[in-house]
Amino acid sequence: MKAIISKIFARKKKFEDFDFSSIKSVLIRPIGTGLGDAVILTAVLKQLKEAYPNIKTGVLAVKRNEIVFRNNPFVDKVIKDNFIGYFSNRGKWQIFIDYIPSFTTRNIIFDFILKPKYTISFQKKEKKYYNINTIQNIDYYIPDLARTHLSKSLELTPLKPYIKTADPEYSLPEIPKECEEKAKKLLHKEKANIVLSPSGTDRKINLEEIREILKSAFEGKEDQVNLIIPFTRDSAEYISVLRDLRPSQTPPLSTEEFFALIKNTDMIISVDSAAVHIACAYRKDLLAFYSGWERNFKLFAPLKADNAIAIQSEISASAPVKEIKALPVEKAVASIRKLLHNKI
């Protein structure tokens, strides 16, 4: 069946000489459905708008990430990533940039329905029936996305001569006033407010290691720190382990309230997750913990800034790890103290 699908739906006439000097529209399918992925791609959308001021930009989105793209000054159209979204946009997009890292039957058929003029696709996992040799609906294929940070990915495409990818910037929609007010009630006016986001969708910081790091970093100044842990399925564990530091747990927060909390705090300490990229968007002091998986770090590291520090596990890995451990404790403690200088 898959062999038949690839022969019927994954065929198109390729453009050998496409004019990229004056493109009219670009549609993007994000690398994943996560908030962090979406935040990073706002830099790509900004680059497109700056290079082509009259371009129409679109994003295929799901409920989880569409909040990042709606009301964004660099996004003209948010399209639901479903059959109706693809069908209603058939033949309406000049360039389609696909970041999804795997071929799927669903997307092969939906891409056939979408019928873009020119498709740019980044590295995809090779499968028996779906691979770069059997799928013939791609005009330009980039075999290794991790050659650069995701925010600079356009420099790997034929758009490179027209795009400025240096110093990428993220863009988030304006936060409703009521969300700002709710977030500010969680802060302490007399203390350094630090948001600890120790777990993400599929990974978390080792409990005992983060306890050792924070106790050493705050030693003697515990009363000057307001440690805030956003409510998640794992937050109760961290509240218990860190009880000596008297952390507070937030009530369940909406996405916009979470944005507001990060925007208004003094510092963020986070596992590799959306919180890292939201903090970068607001240019907040940041310490981010990553696994030793180098490919993941290269793609999703925090944006380079004097107030953004990233620390990797000392365990090298060729695949993602769910628990980030073997962290360099002394380096982490020194980093926190550096970022807290003049705050406590």
pLDDT value for 156: 98
Structure confidence by residue, pLDDT tens digits, 60-96 = 999 999 999 998 999 999 999 999 999 999 999 999 9
Q: Does residue 331 carry a pLDDT above 70?
A: yes
Structure confidence by residue, pLDDT tens digits, 227-273 = 999 999 999 999 999 999 999 999 999 999 999 999 999 999 999 99
- Strand pairing partners for 292? 316
**Which has the minimum average pLDDT: 7-11, 240-244, 325-329?**
7-11
pLDDT value for 344: 76
pLDDT value for 53: 95
- Beta-carbon contacts of 90 under 8 Å, excluding residues fewer than 6 positions away, are 113, 114, 115
pLDDT value for 319: 63
pLDDT value for 187: 97
- Mean of the per-residue pLDDT values of the chain: 94
Domains, the chain, with CATH or none? 2-162 (3.40.50.2000), 180-339 (3.40.50.2000)
pLDDT band at 97; cut points 50, 70, 90: very high
Structure confidence by residue, pLDDT tens digits, 302-315 = 999 999 999 999 98
pLDDT value for 140: 96
Average pLDDT over residues 114-122: 97
* C-alpha distance from residue 334 to each of 193, 226, 311, 325, 341 (Å): 18, 19, 11, 18, 11
pLDDT value for 135: 86
**Which has the minimum average pLDDT: 106-110, 147-151, 321-325, 330-334?**
321-325
Outline where DSSP puts E strands in 68-132: 77-80, 95-98, 118-122
Secondary structure element (H or E) that encloses residue 317, with its range? none
Helices 329-339, 207-218: crossing angle, 10 deg rounding: 50
Spatial distance between the Cα atoms of 122 and 159, rounded to a whole number of angstroms = 14
Structure confidence by residue, pLDDT tens digits, 168-203 = 999 998 999 999 999 999 999 999 999 999 998 888
Q: Does residue 318 carry a pLDDT above 70?
A: no
Spatial distance between the Cα atoms of 207 and 187, rounded to a whole number of angstroms = 24
pLDDT value for 320: 67
pLDDT value for 133: 85
Average pLDDT over residues 281-289: 97
